[in-house]
């Protein structure tokens, strides 16, 4: 025992020394931390502050999109997503369960408020191993009213997640102009609303605000301390956008598009309404389209056809060929030419008029009215010149984008290498343009020669201060023609609608308003590059403006492959859109109808025995509408006969020697048809009433005395849109 004592003392001494050293190390460390406030290079005060400081995100509101008058088109609002908690561990107090206790009862009650069957809800509530479940589309975007009703059921485990949602209160409404947004998650896990097409995409950065935050001191459980400090960084809401779109006019357009789409089932419809004095787009729509809130229909219609797709314009292109010829002083409306067919060079394909045979020898004015390809070909090739015409294509902006404030604008392709391509470009075949390029070019015709850049954004406004950040002013993009030329073009385009010879006669006439415009029928290329040859395989269109002398509105409508009876009926769906929307819009804008002047009665001179040239000059000078038939050079007979009093503009049938040539009688009255049959000694068979829509034989055929002429007539209201006058009282009420 005596030997162990020294060893124990030695061990105790070693332990004492070790613990003493540890004590001094800890004391030194404590004093060091107290003095420096740091440990392991970390500021302890900051770390403690960080631990007990909590931060919550303040979500920014996306900017609102308005129409030109401040009507909401797209806005952010609160929606709720239904969530069911399934995990039993969430319940700590059996008397107050925090999870779904009775799935069967819960499913039965929820089925009354969401669009999901009771069985499907039950399946979701009984999934094994899930902490919580949602209910897909049926449980998303719930309104506050629906949320409140479900909360009143006091169903255990049923809760809601609050979210911001983009609302489009007008449904299908300029959908490709406005666009839509989708929720996307970035690399940091933050969910943001991102614009996908239209203005939502083009102005995504302006519409997207900046999120704010609130930081506060809390205890270890995250509860706000009574004397805790708060630091708030307010959210910056997105800017508001005002469009040039007019809600009323856009609604007129959407309604007309829907009716025609349902009645004619076309492959595609494109329509635009613009103010030619400012370049503002007042309405823009298409079919197929989609609902920006539900995305229904989006799979068929991603592209904005007005700016993202080029088309062959057809005869609407003749507007600009005519304008170039008048500007260069090479168009004589009273000059005669032979219609029917034309060859540019010896080796070029034959160019034919759309009826195949033409209308004999007619004036260039009548050629424009009848949309003669031969007239346009001769003007470009023999009078204007290919190089000069090409210059005007550039002046009218057809070889570059318009710069409209919508995304993904494309431009067409001008085919101008070979003589035949130069000719076909003049009447709208082969070369492609976009509908918005047509609108921009037509603004020059309507706006006294000044071409304006089209736009859909009126202004951008700070949503919190009301300050205007950006405002769009009218921008002149060129002056391709003079004021005088523009007026002459409008006057001629007016006769396309007002003259019985015009392709727009009894089709685009609007009671009380003078319309100037041009019809178009374009071929459609097939998948093999060749044109489709079906009876309805065309793009039927009309580019018009009103009132003619001082246009307030310009409108383009195109309908592709509508289900109509014959090729000749292709104008019907187009006119139903144009006439309805144009008239309703003019009345809404309080554009007063013109007073119709009384027709002047004139005494018909006797021109029998005179030469064709002399007789036509005499009658044209008095304002008569002349129809010449026969093969000879001297007038053999006339109806009405000489020294008869008739109204100005009434047809006078002049017959030369030989068999009569059947004219194009489209739009003729019964009285004029009877005059022609009488002077030619023909057997006449008339069906229907109103004006001629079909005839046999076709124009250009020679008939001998005693042969049959068959015509079918329809009233104007049946040929156009019979709802126009029915809506008159309603539109007057809107106007007042």
For residue range 545-594, what is the model confidence (pLDDT) as tens digits?
Answer: 999 999 999 999 999 999 998 888 899 999 999 999 999 999 999 998 87
Task: Identify the weakest region by mean pLDDT among 156-165, 176-185, 189-198, 283-292.
Answer: 189-198
Helix (H) or strand (E) holding 338: strand 336-338
φ, ψ for residue 726, nearest 5 deg? -65, -25
Please state, as a whole number, how many other Cβ atoms lie within 10 Å of the Cβ of residue 9: 10
Q: Is position 223 within any domain?
A: yes
- Cβ-Cβ contacts under 8 Å for 561 (sequence gap 6 or more): 266, 267, 268, 524, 534, 536, 537, 538, 539
If asked whether residues 239 and 253 sit together in one domain, one would say no
Do the strands 625-629 and 651-655 form a parallel or antiparallel pair, or are they unpaired? parallel
Average pLDDT, whole number, for the chain? 86
Tokens of 455: 């736009």
Q: Is position 459 within any domain?
A: no
**CB crowding 570-603: b at 16 or more within 10 Å, else e:** bbbbbbbbbbbbbbbbbbbeebeeeeeeeeeebe
Helix segments in 53-183, DSSP class H: 103-110, 118-125, 144-151, 175-178
Q: Is position 70 within any domain?
A: yes
Positive/negative CA dihedral, 594, 596, 600, 606: positive
DSSP class of residue 576 equals H
**CB crowding 131-140: b at 16 or more within 10 Å, else e:** ebbebeebbb
Distance in Å from the first CA to the final CA of the chain: 124
Helices and strands: H and E segment counts in the chain? 22, 35
If asked whether residues 379 and 522 sit together in one domain, one would say yes
CATH number reported for the structural domain that contains residue 701 in this entry: 3.30.10.20
Helix (H) or strand (E) holding 735: helix 728-735
If asked whether residues 130 and 175 sit together in one domain, one would say yes
CATH number reported for the structural domain that contains residue 201 in this entry: 3.90.1310.10
Of 538, 553, 588, the last residue of a domain is 588
- Cβ-Cβ contacts under 8 Å for 107 (sequence gap 6 or more): 118, 119, 121, 122, 125
The number of distinct structural domains making up the chain is 3
pLDDT value for 89:
84
Q: Is position 424 within any domain?
A: yes
Q: Which of 354, 299, 245 is nearest to 699 (CA)?
A: 354
Domain interval for residue 711: 601-719
pLDDT bin (cut points 50, 70, 90) of residue 229 is low
* pLDDT score of 151 more than 70: yes
Q: Which of 382, 386, 372 is nearest to 341 (CA)?
A: 372
The burial of 415, by beta-carbon neighbours within 10 Å (0-12 exposed, 13-18 middle, 19 or more buried), is given as: middle
Residue 21, beta-bridge partner list: none
If asked whether residues 494 and 618 sit together in one domain, one would say no
Average pLDDT over residues 344-362: 90
If asked whether residues 222 and 304 sit together in one domain, one would say no
Average pLDDT over residues 460-488: 95
pLDDT value for 368:
96
Share of the chain above pLDDT 90, in %: 54
Q: Is position 283 within any domain?
A: no
What length does the chain have? 736
If asked whether residues 624 and 577 sit together in one domain, one would say no
Of 228, 243, 258, the last residue of a domain is 243
- Contact between 606 and 641 under an 8 Å Cβ cutoff? The reply is yes
Q: What is the pTM of this model?
A: 0.73
Question: Percentage helix, strand, coil, to 5, in the chain?
Answer: 35, 25, 40
Q: Is position 458 within any domain?
A: no
DSSP class of residue 49 equals H
Residue 166, beta-bridge partner list: 76
If asked whether residues 524 and 665 sit together in one domain, one would say no
Helix (H) or strand (E) holding 25: helix 4-36
* pLDDT score of 164 more than 90: no
Helix (H) or strand (E) holding 441: helix 435-446
Q: Is position 689 within any domain?
A: yes
Tokens of 106: 């819960």
If asked whether residues 613 and 559 sit together in one domain, one would say no
Task: Identify the weakest region by mean pLDDT among 441-450, 559-568, 611-620.
Answer: 611-620
Q: Is position 34 within any domain?
A: no
If asked whether residues 568 and 632 sit together in one domain, one would say no
If asked whether residues 217 and 358 sit together in one domain, one would say no
* pLDDT score of 730 more than 50: no
Active site residues: 315
If asked whether residues 227 and 261 sit together in one domain, one would say no
Of 588, 623, 647, the last residue of a domain is 588
If asked whether residues 500 and 418 sit together in one domain, one would say yes
CATH number reported for the structural domain that contains residue 269 in this entry: 3.40.710.10
- Cβ-Cβ contacts under 8 Å for 411 (sequence gap 6 or more): 310, 399, 400, 401, 433, 434, 437
């Amino acid at each position: 025992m005596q030997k162990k004592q020294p060893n124990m003392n030695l061990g105790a001494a070693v332990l004492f020394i070790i613990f003493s050293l540890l004590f001094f190390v800890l004391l030194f460390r404590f004093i060091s931390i107290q003095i420096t406030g740091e440990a392991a290079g970390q500021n302890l005060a900051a770390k403690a502050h960080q631990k007990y400081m909590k931060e919550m995100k303040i979500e920014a509101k996306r900017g609102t999109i308005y129409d030109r008058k401040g009507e909401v088109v797209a806005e952010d609002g609160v929606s709720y997503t239904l969530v069911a908690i399934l995990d039993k561990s969430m319940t700590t107090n059996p008397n107050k369960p925090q999870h779904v206790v009775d799935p069967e009862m819960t499913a039965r009650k929820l089925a009354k408020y969401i669009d999901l069957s009771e069985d499907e809800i039950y399946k979701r509530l009984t999934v094994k191993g899930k902490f919580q479940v949602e209910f897909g589309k049926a449980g998303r975007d719930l309104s506050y009213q629906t949320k409140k009703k479900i909360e009143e059921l006091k169903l255990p485990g049923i809760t809601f997640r609050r979210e911001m949602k983009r609302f489009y209160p007008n449904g299908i409404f300029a959908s490709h102009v406005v666009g839509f947004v989708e929720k996307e998650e970035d690399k940091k896990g933050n969910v943001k609303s991102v614009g996908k097409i239209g203005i939502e995409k083009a102005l995504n950065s302006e519409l997207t605000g900046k999120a704010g935050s609130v930081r506060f001191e809390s205890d270890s459980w995250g509860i706000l301390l009574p004397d805790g400090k708060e630091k708030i960084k307010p959210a910056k809401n997105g800017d508001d956008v005002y469009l040039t779109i007019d809600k009323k006019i856009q609604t007129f357009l959407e309604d007309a598009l829907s009716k025609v789409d349902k009645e004619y089932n076309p492959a595609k419809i494109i329509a635009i309404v613009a103010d030619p004095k400012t370049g503002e787009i007042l309405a823009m729509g298409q079919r197929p389209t989609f609902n920006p809130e539900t995305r229904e229909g989006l799979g068929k219609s991603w592209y904005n056809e007005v700016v993202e797709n080029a088309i062959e314009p057809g005869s609407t292109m003749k507007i600009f060929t005519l304008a170039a010829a008048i500007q260069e002083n090479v168009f004589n409306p009273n000059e005669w030419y032979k219609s029917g067919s034309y060859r540019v060079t010896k080796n070029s394909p034959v160019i034919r008029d759309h009826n195949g045979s033409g209308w004999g020898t007619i004036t260039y004015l009548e050629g424009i009215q009848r949309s003669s390809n031969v007239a346009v070909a001769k003007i470009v090739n023999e009078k204007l010149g290919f190089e000069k015409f090409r210059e005007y294509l550039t002046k009218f902006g057809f070889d570059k984008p318009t710069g409209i404030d919508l995304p993904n604008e494309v431009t067409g392709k001008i085919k101008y290498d070979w003589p035949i391509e130069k000719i076909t470009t003049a009447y709208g075949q082969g070369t492609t343009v976009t509908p918005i390029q047509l609108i921009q070019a037509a603004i020059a015709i309507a706006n006294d020669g000044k071409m304006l850049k089209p736009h859909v954004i009126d202004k951008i406004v700070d949503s919190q201060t009301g300050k205007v950040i950006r405002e769009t002013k009218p921008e002149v993009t060129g002056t391709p023609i003079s004021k005088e030329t523009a007026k002459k073009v409008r006057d001629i385009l007016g006769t396309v609608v007002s003259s019985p010879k015009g392709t727009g006669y009894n089709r685009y006439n609007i009671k009380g308003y003078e319309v100037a415009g041009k019809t178009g029928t374009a071929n459609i290329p097939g998948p093999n590059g060749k044109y489709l040859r079906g009876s309805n395989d065309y793009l039927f269109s009309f580019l018009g403006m009103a009132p003619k002398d001082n246009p307030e509105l310009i409108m383009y409508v195109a309908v592709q492959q509508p289900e109509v009876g014959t090729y000749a009926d292709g104008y019907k769906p187009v006119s139903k859109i144009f006439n309805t929307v144009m008239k309703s819009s003019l009345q809404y804008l309080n554009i007063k109808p013109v007073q119709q002047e009384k027709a002047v009665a004139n005494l018909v001179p006797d021109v029998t025995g005179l030469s064709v040239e002399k007789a036509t000059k005499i009658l044209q000078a008095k304002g008569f509408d002349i129809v010449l038939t026969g093969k000879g050079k001297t007038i053999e007979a006339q109806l009405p006969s000489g020294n008869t009093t008739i109204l100005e503009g009434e047809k006078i049938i002049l017959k030369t020697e030989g068999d009569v040539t059947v004219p194009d009688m489209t739009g003729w009255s019964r009285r004029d048809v009877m005059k022609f049959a009488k002077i030619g000694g023909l057997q006449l068979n008339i069906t229907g009433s109103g004006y001629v829509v079909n005839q046999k034989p076709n124009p250009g055929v020679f008939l001998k005395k005693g042969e049959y002429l068959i015509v079918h007539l329809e009233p104007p209201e049946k040929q156009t849109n019979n709802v126009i006058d029915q809506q008159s009282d309603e539109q007057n009420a809107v106007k007042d």
